[in-house]
Chains A and B, each alone.
Chain A
Amino acid sequence: MAHPTSSVTAPHLAPSHLEPTVYDRHAPSWHRDAAAVAEAVFSKSSTSSAEHGHETLEPPPAARIDWMVDDLDHFLLSVGGRSRFVFRAALTTLVTLGPVTIGSLRPFASLSLADRVRALERLDQPLAGPAALCVFAVKTLMSFLWFEHPDTQVEAGLVRGAHR
């Protein structure tokens, strides 16, 4: 799962007086679940393997996942308790129901990357009802942060050209 990492990070640019007064990080299990979901959401097909007819999934760089989970932690500590509860409830729904949708009783974080992708895809279907809304909520906030990482911005061609 280890991949080339980048030394580039997106620093906190907000003034220090806005930092949460108590920076009480979430529990490690919460970090593990968030990282497991993020890895699945942002995984890609491995091109080199596909050339040999064996398409495999490639997780994103581990350092970028770590950065995003840290930033997500900071984000949720900066916003109100109700938002924090809603997001964590949505994430818990995904990691609880996800394995069930693919007939597994293992914890979500211990599933293979392919199984995690499959599980989230099933929850993202209309028949999954409110779970689809949970996928949407978690994916949207994670994507918001993910695409602020300088490396992701370069890869997606988001670096701005000259101003008008």
Chain B
Amino acid sequence: MSPTTPTAIPTRASHAGRVVRGAERQGDLVLGCDVVIIGTGAGGAIAAKVLAERGLDVICLEEGPHITAREHGAMRPSESLRHVWRDGGMTVAVGLGDTPVINVTMGKVVGGSSMVTGGVCLRPPEEVVSRWVHELGLGDLDLSHLDRHLSIVERLVGVEAVPPSMRSRAVQRFGEGLAKVGGELVSLERNTHGCQGESRCNFGCPHQAKLSVDLSVLPRAVDHGATIVSDALVEKIRLRGRRAVGVEGRLGRGHRFVVHADTVVLAAGAWHDPVVLARSGIRHPDLGRHMTLHPSFRMMARFDEPVRGWEGALQSAYSPSFMKDGHTMVALFVPPGVVAGAMPGIGPELALRTDALQHIAIMGGLLHDEGGGRVWPVPAALGREPVVTYRMAKADRARLPEAVRRMAEIYFEAGARECFSPVLGLGPITPERLKTIDFTKVPGRRYECTSQHPLGTCRMGTDPKRAVVSPEGRVWDVAGLWVADGSIVPTSLGVNPQITVMAMAHRVAERVADAVSSSRSRRPLDPAAAGSR
């Protein structure tokens, strides 16, 4: 099939309102619609729902497979990792300078990264939004405007506060330590309903209690006629002059597909949006730059009593008390195998530690970073995955040792016997040993660092020379091309971004709908354009 000579454009009735597994498709595929959305995560799903409800013919393309919530909940955690997470959870950003290698986790499945989050839904902090408004000139993003979008998406995905009864003993000890250093433990808000405390939200809930977008949002889009095609990797956006006219790519088994549409909404995530845009011939000096990651560091502690960190909600509470110092602390738990892998020692020494897994508590420290990440698309011959680098800003690098020390101090205040820091090769830390360790002298490469929040690689702004998309979410100078996911978030948030991404996607989608409606009302006057579909 030549991608430029479509053989068939099915009518809306022939393909609307269903999920098509691209990997099972025999032969090439040519479709047409009003709006094609690239990605089905927090941003893409919200956009699909808004646009389908406005009566538009919507097709969502997802690179990953379609896995139902029931199937996901029945998997072992490592099966989730291999089938639902991108690269088996082994994606990394290469640290430049005195920066750690950062393991960045994302979903690659219908539902995107919302399938692999802990479900945390925190609103953007006021000071962050204030900066957007007053320093970046994004007046339409002030809380009075954003509040409506936040409220809508919060209702949609069922945001609720985690009750204290869902806190494991490990979280309670974290709270006790916090209280002794003047910190506060606050219940997290999450998109759950009927949580039974299985503590495996990011590996598939056995009770489908986490309302990720595959359960809460995409079904509404499908009910209104949207079609989802899984296993469909978009390679490029088709342009005619400076106007988007569709997308093309390949399905799971190598067959080609083309979707003709006058409007394209890009929501492939901050890691891949720059790749799709660059391969489509869109150039901008800031494309792929300014990525923020919220670099995160874990601290584990061993208590005398069993604290069974896996009982209760995976993420039940956090401490905003140190936000002024540039970090947020969150109580969490990860599969015991991951805890064991992060313990010091080999053989008998490791066994000694893993025999005490019931006594281990974990917290994560998340830095409010200034954005030193960059996505580097590679030539198509080398595959699709970009090289991503991250150079930690000096201020962030200075906060890191401070945050790590504080996390250990909190656990010792709570009565921990020893702590296991994120410094590779450091071994167990006792309260006495902590006094002798100078974390500022530890090279960046020795820190074990993760991130779940890549943002900002196509950031929005008022200046076309310094921002990839306009304040409305439209790619500057390309008609019919919009971005509606975490890549447009202009700065680091300091809190989990899921609900912010959804709210911003909701805002963009409303503008897309308005623009399409406006263009449709003009279409009878432009027969040439009407015939181009």
A interface vs B, CB < 8 Å? 10, 12-15, 17-18, 21, 40-45, 57, 71, 74-76, 78-83, 86-87, 117, 120-121, 124-126, 128, 130, 132-133, 135-136, 139-148, 153, 156-158, 160-161, 163-164
Write the nearest CB–CB distance from B74 to chain A, whole angstroms: 5
Q: Once the chains bind, are B357 and A158 in contact (CB under 8 Å)?
A: yes
Contacts A14-B74, A143-B338 given; 12 further ones with Cβ under 8 A? A43-B347, A44-B347, A57-B348, A75-B82, A80-B385, A126-B425, A126-B426, A144-B78, A144-B338, A148-B78, A160-B311, A163-B198
Residues of A within 8 A of B91 (CB): 83
Q: Once the chains bind, are B90 and A156 in contact (CB under 8 Å)?
A: no
Q: Once the chains bind, are A14 and B354 in contact (CB under 8 Å)?
A: no
A164 nearest CB neighbor, chain B only: B197
The verdict on B383 contacting chain A, using a C-beta distance below 8 Å, is: yes
Residues 62-102 of B at the A interface (beta carbon under 8 Å): 65, 67, 71, 74-79, 81-83, 86-88, 90-92, 101
Write the nearest CB–CB distance from A15 to chain B, whole angstroms: 5
Q: Once the chains bind, are B341 and A142 in contact (CB under 8 Å)?
A: yes
Residues of B within 8 A of A145 (CB): 78, 337
Whether A156 contacts B76 in the complex (CB less than 8 A), given A143-B337, A164-B197, comes out as: no
Tell me the interface secondary structure of chain A in the complex: helix
The verdict on B152 contacting chain A, using a C-beta distance below 8 Å, is: no
> Size band of the B side of the interface?
35 or more
Of the residues A14, A130, A133, A135, contact of B83 by C-beta under 8 Å: A14
Residues of A within 8 A of B21 (CB): 17
Q: Once the chains bind, are B347 and A41 in contact (CB under 8 Å)?
A: yes
Write the nearest CB–CB distance from B64 to chain A, whole angstroms: 10
Q: Once the chains bind, are A80 and B88 in contact (CB under 8 Å)?
A: yes
Write the nearest CB–CB distance from A139 to chain B, whole angstroms: 5
B100 nearest CB neighbor, chain A only: A133
Residues of A within 8 A of B88 (CB): 75-76, 78-80, 83
B85 nearest CB neighbor, chain A only: A79
Write the nearest CB–CB distance from B429 to chain A, whole angstroms: 14
Residues of A within 8 A of B90 (CB): 79, 82-83, 86-87, 141
Residues of B within 8 A of A13 (CB): 74-76, 79
Residues of B within 8 A of A82 (CB): 87, 90, 383, 385
Expressed in whole angstroms, the Cα–Cα distance for A158 and B197 within the complex equals 15
Write the nearest CB–CB distance from B380 to chain A, whole angstroms: 15
Of the residues B76, B312, B340, contact of A146 by C-beta under 8 Å: B340
The verdict on B11 contacting chain A, using a C-beta distance below 8 Å, is: no
Whether A136 contacts B448 in the complex (CB less than 8 A), given A17-B23, A164-B196, comes out as: yes
Q: Once the chains bind, are A157 and B357 in contact (CB under 8 Å)?
A: yes
**Residue among B165, B347, B350 having the largest count of chain A Cβ atoms under 10 Å:** B347
Q: Once the chains bind, are A160 and B336 in contact (CB under 8 Å)?
A: no
Whether A143 contacts B340 in the complex (CB less than 8 A), given A13-B76, A18-B83, A75-B82, comes out as: yes
Write the nearest CB–CB distance from B323 to chain A, whole angstroms: 30
B interface vs A, CB < 8 Å? 21, 23-24, 65, 67, 71, 74-79, 81-83, 86-88, 90-92, 101, 165-166, 196-198, 253, 306, 310-312, 335-338, 340-342, 344-351, 354-355, 357-358, 383, 385, 424-426, 445-446, 448
Write the nearest CB–CB distance from A151 to chain B, whole angstroms: 14
Sampled A-B contacts (29; CB under 8 Å): A13-B79, A42-B351, A75-B78, A75-B82, A78-B88, A86-B92, A117-B346, A120-B346, A120-B347, A121-B347, A126-B424, A126-B426, A130-B445, A132-B446, A135-B346, A136-B448, A139-B341, A139-B346, A139-B350, A143-B337, A143-B338, A143-B354, A144-B78, A145-B337, A147-B340, A148-B78, A156-B336, A157-B358, A164-B197
Residues of A within 8 A of B165 (CB): 164
Residues of B within 8 A of A153 (CB): 336
Q: Once the chains bind, are B424 and A132 in contact (CB under 8 Å)?
A: yes
A148 nearest CB neighbor, chain B only: B76
Q: Once the chains bind, are A144 and B351 in contact (CB under 8 Å)?
A: no
Q: Once the chains bind, are B75 and A141 in contact (CB under 8 Å)?
A: no
Of all A-B residue pairs in the complex, the 3 with the closest CB atoms, nearest first, are: A79-B88, A140-B341, A147-B337
Expressed in whole angstroms, the Cα–Cα distance for A130 and B342 within the complex equals 16
B168 nearest CB neighbor, chain A only: A164
Residues of B within 8 A of A87 (CB): 90
Of the residues A79, A139, A160, contact of B310 by C-beta under 8 Å: A160
A71 nearest CB neighbor, chain B only: B78
Expressed in whole angstroms, the Cα–Cα distance for A18 and B445 within the complex equals 36
Q: Once the chains bind, are A15 and B67 in contact (CB under 8 Å)?
A: yes
Residues of A within 8 A of B92 (CB): 86
Q: Once the chains bind, are B336 and A158 in contact (CB under 8 Å)?
A: yes
Write the nearest CB–CB distance from B97 to chain A, whole angstroms: 16
Write the nearest CB–CB distance from A108 to chain B, whole angstroms: 13
Q: Once the chains bind, are A156 and B357 in contact (CB under 8 Å)?
A: yes
Expressed in whole angstroms, the Cα–Cα distance for A153 and B358 within the complex equals 11
Residues of A within 8 A of B358 (CB): 156-158
Write the nearest CB–CB distance from A119 to chain B, whole angstroms: 9
Residues of B within 8 A of A74 (CB): 82
Q: Once the chains bind, are B346 and A147 in contact (CB under 8 Å)?
A: no
A45 nearest CB neighbor, chain B only: B348
Q: Once the chains bind, are A144 and B337 in contact (CB under 8 Å)?
A: yes
Q: Once the chains bind, are B83 and A124 in contact (CB under 8 Å)?
A: no
Residues of B within 8 A of A158 (CB): 310, 336, 357-358
Residues of B within 8 A of A164 (CB): 165-166, 196-197, 311-312
Write the nearest CB–CB distance from B278 to chain A, whole angstroms: 19
Q: Once the chains bind, are B342 and A140 in contact (CB under 8 Å)?
A: yes
Residues of B within 8 A of A117 (CB): 346-348
Q: Once the chains bind, are A80 and B311 in contact (CB under 8 Å)?
A: no
Expressed in whole angstroms, the Cα–Cα distance for A125 and B424 within the complex equals 8
**Residue among B312, B337, B351, B383 having the largest count of chain A Cβ atoms under 10 Å:** B337
Write the nearest CB–CB distance from A120 to chain B, whole angstroms: 5
